[in-house]
A = this chain, B = another copy of it.
């Protein structure tokens, strides 16, 4: 029984890593598509998101079954609850990449704006955050998980900078209002993805230590 439980937990972890890989892939695709003006990459996001959604339901079902049949306690229980939350965050990240793909395709129909480089950088940091958070999850690495929380500040700073630059540009160049709006919405999606990666890092800390670092409980 004990061995079956451990095997099932390992399977669950693997499934979460597969989902994380899809999210990373989707982030790479949307940031590359934006920079290279490559509409085909945007079109491919739907397939990736579908895989994420399929895994999402499978992971939730596996967690429910594990809880019902094994009645885990203490750290095992915290781990499964963390997996349920991480699963939700990864699924929402998939949704966000779909939003980016929709808006991104509109953007490609407009005049390019230089701020797209910063937006793309936001995507790259968000990708590193989700990769880092899931590495921490697998290794139970609390210290590095705390570093992930700090990376979110970089995403937020870039977003603020992009917002201010674009607002000023749109004011002086009303013909670029739509393109600017597209980039602002994409930047907002990426900011949200940074938030989800932050949630994952917080869940890792909780699973490992039992400490709730949300709502300013970092120290």
Residues of chain A whose beta carbon lies under 8 Å from any beta carbon of chain B: 53-54, 56-57, 60-61, 63-64, 67-68, 71, 73-74, 77-78, 81, 84-85, 88, 163, 167, 170-172, 174-175, 177-178, 181, 184-185, 188, 212, 214-215
Contact = CB atoms under 8 A, between A and B. Distances in A.
A78 B67 CA distance: 10
Contacts of A60: 212
Nearest to A163: B181
A77 B69 CA distance: 11
A56 B178 contact: no
A161 to B, nearest CB: 15
A9 to B, nearest CB: 16
Contact of A57 (B57, B64, B73, B215): B215
Given A64-B81, A88-B85, A177 B185 contact: no
Contact of A67 (B77, B167, B177, B212): B77
18 contacts: A54-B215, A57-B214, A57-B215, A61-B212, A64-B81, A67-B77, A68-B74, A81-B84, A84-B84, A163-B181, A167-B178, A170-B174, A171-B174, A171-B178, A174-B174, A184-B184, A185-B188, A188-B188
- Chain A contact residues, majority secondary structure: helix
A64 B77 contact: yes
B177 A171 contact: yes
A118 B67 CA distance: 45
Contacts of A85: 84, 88
Nearest to A80: B67
